[in-house]
Structure 1
Amino acid sequence: MKSSKYDFLWILVPLLLLAIWGNVSLGAIKIPQKELFLTFMSESDVKSSWVYIIQQYRVPKMVVSILVGVSLSVSGLLMQTLFRNPMAGPYVLGLSSGAGLGVALVLLGSSLLPIYLQELFQSAYAVVIASIIGSLLLLFSILLLARSVSNSMTLLIIGLMFGSFANSMVAVLTYYSSAEELKRFTFWSLGNLGNLSWTFILIFGIVTFVGVVLSICSVKSLDALMLGERYASSMGISIKKARVIIILATGILAGVCTAFVGPIAFVGLAVPHISRLLFKVSNHKEMIIVSSLIGAILMLFCDALTQFPGQSFILPINAITSILGAPLVIGLLLRKR
């Protein structure tokens, strides 16, 4: 029987379902598997405290983990293809730095405002809005330059300079900030998958869906760019138009992720490499699907490790993603050699 080009789904989909169940099962409070199952079946004889923990904390965090894994993995794949650079990631154009500057202005610069405005600027909504505005301003600046710059490497350098400038402004703000303000900003920069309302999660999901659809619409350009911009031009691809669409999709995916959960490290860089090494997929349509599934599985696994059963503390998600991601990619690369 001839094998299907989507045979990888038979491996990744069961792994994703297993990761979802494991993510919801694990936590500081141990909940029996039977009670967990009854909760999903809407049985009334389950303890109300367990129902609250599962429905109001674990399930939302599980959904956010999947959205983060998908958005960062796909955006990382787009950047690595556009710049033909294996070290490129979702934040290579400085989007996280722009978001960080927006958040820093709110969290670190609010003390300069009148007292009646300080409480408004320190709310969760203000942090999300500031992050979105910071990412969008930097994204639109890069998109304007993308139409006039002929070389993708030049655009990459410009993006890095934008990021460096934003980081410098953040450094200035941190120097004049109080210990409490620095603590809040540091907590945001470590990443946090919890504490999102279903309204925020719905917005996160819709925007991620738009970014993934835009990425899938660019698969022809992405496949051609893998062989270089000259080859893509000879195939009738408009390089400037393709570049703008790819950067826009990346900005949407990486920007919304940073806005809602903070800058998550290593996932967008590592997952495309893991996808290529584990599954010999031939085109970007398959790569987007594989990267999305592996990214979701990896984030669910990392999130489960942030809080061990019986422990009250929660480890930063960025620490777990880097600790697991770096050795995994190194091991796969060495095995390939």
Structure 2
Amino acid sequence: MQTSRTYTTVLFLLLGVTVAVWFLNISLGSVNIPFKDVLAVLFSSEVENDNWHYIIMEYRIPKAFTSVLAGSGLAVSGMLMQTMFRNPLAGPYVLGLSSGASLGVALVLMGATVFGGVAGSFLFSKWGLVIASSLGSLLVLLAVMLASVRLKDTMAILIIGLMFASLTSAVVSVLAYFSPAAQLQQYVFWSYGSVGDLSWNELGVLSFFWFLGIVIALFSIKNLNSLLLGEQYARSLGMNIGRNRALLIISTSFLAGSITAFAGPIAFVGLAVPHLIRQVIPVNDHRILLPAVILGGAILLLLCDTVAQMPGSEYTLPINAITSLVGAPVVIWLLVRKRKFLF
């Protein structure tokens, strides 16, 4: 009972930190806006500068919500993959979804000579890239799902996903080799990732897919706990391994695929956050881990985005660079410490 209360307290602390970091994120940026004016905008009061109202409502708040959705979604999908494959180094992109999305975007941006006129203007728009990225992820997902039907070994599916990632990366490399510098630069900028380019409409679409992915994960909690003791044990409890595997893959595709489509590939959040949370809450029960990982992912990406904005400077760093600078040392630290991973 005492342990349960302790975990509940930690979850409320994480929630409080998430709210505090969210306010910090919308308060800092290249334009210095006093905190009292930030609160005035949030609570529909008068502000001294109308431009501040626009910056906060149309840029900083959507960006902060995008960071919450992307960070929590990638963290949850990373946890699902680590549990499904019983591999502490598995991440949300282990199935090749990110590589498939990259291929879709690369075909549009670096195959520009094929397109023109109205079609070209649509494909190079934000929605055009989102659709291309989604289709690329969907094709890889379908291929992995077909493989999962025929394969009984879960580790074989992991290898299949890695091979699809290698194939799509090879095609992207060929396209990049023959592409003009301007088109190659566009693709490179997309690959850096960004949480600051979404409108409220785009944020609504991302929220819908995030909700679907989280709901599937919630319904899979009991099966996730069973998988911790191995597939044979889970099967002895009456769990349908194939159906559960399909649900986890679909949940991950909704989360990681939609986030990559709208924000680009964001590295290391899905890999590092589940391990960081297990240092704070050392349990295997996904009823506790899932909400903690959601909050932990949101906190990490909000902090990374705050650093990437370089408050007070006109420059903005790539979000992918900041998450890698944070996530890679975490993974190295965990491996060097040789702590036993909770699997």
Give the TM-score, by structure 1 length: 0.96
Q: Map of 1:37-52 to 2, 5 A cutoff? A: 37-52=39-54
Match of 1:205 in 2: 207
Measure the CA separation in 2 of the matches of 1:45 and 1:321: 34
- 1:249-273, Cα deviation, whole Å (9 max, x unpaired): 1111100000000000000000010
Q: Map of 1:1-337 to 2, 5 A cutoff? A: 2=2, 3-4=4-5, 5-331=7-333, 337=339
Is the Cα contact below 8 Å between 2:78 and 2:271 reproduced in 1?
yes
Measure the CA separation in 2 of the matches of 1:154 and 1:202: 36
Measure the CA separation in 1 of the matches of 2:10 and 2:318: 31
Tell me the percent identity.
Answer: 47
Measure the CA separation in 2 of the matches of 1:213 and 1:9: 19
Measure the CA separation in 2 of the matches of 1:224 and 1:246: 14
Measure the CA separation in 2 of the matches of 1:250 and 1:122: 27
- 1:150-170, Cα deviation, whole Å (9 max, x unpaired): 000111111111111111111
Deviation at 1:64, TM superposition (A): 0.2
Deviation at 1:32, TM superposition (A): 0.8
* 2:119 maps to amino acid: L
Is the Cα contact below 8 Å between 1:224 and 1:231 reproduced in 2?
yes
Deviation at 1:110, TM superposition (A): 2.0
Measure the CA separation in 2 of the matches of 1:176 and 1:43: 54
Give the TM-score, by structure 2 length: 0.95
Counting matched residue pairs gives 337
- List runs of 5+ in structure 2 lacking aligned partners: none
Deviation at 1:332, TM superposition (A): 5.7
Deviation at 1:119, TM superposition (A): 2.2
Q: Pairwise CA RMSD of aligned residues?
A: 1.5
Measure the CA separation in 2 of the matches of 1:311 and 1:10: 34
Measure the CA separation in 2 of the matches of 1:184 and 1:259: 15
Measure the CA separation in 2 of the matches of 1:74 and 1:311: 33
Measure the CA separation in 1 of the matches of 2:303 and 2:30: 15
Instruction: Give the 3 Å change call, closer, same or farther, for CA 307–78 of structure 1 in structure 2.
Output: same
Is the Cα contact below 8 Å between 1:132 and 1:256 reproduced in 2?
yes
Measure the CA separation in 1 of the matches of 2:18 and 2:51: 27
1:150 alignment partner, SS class: coil
* 1:254 maps to amino acid: A
* 2:171 maps to amino acid: M
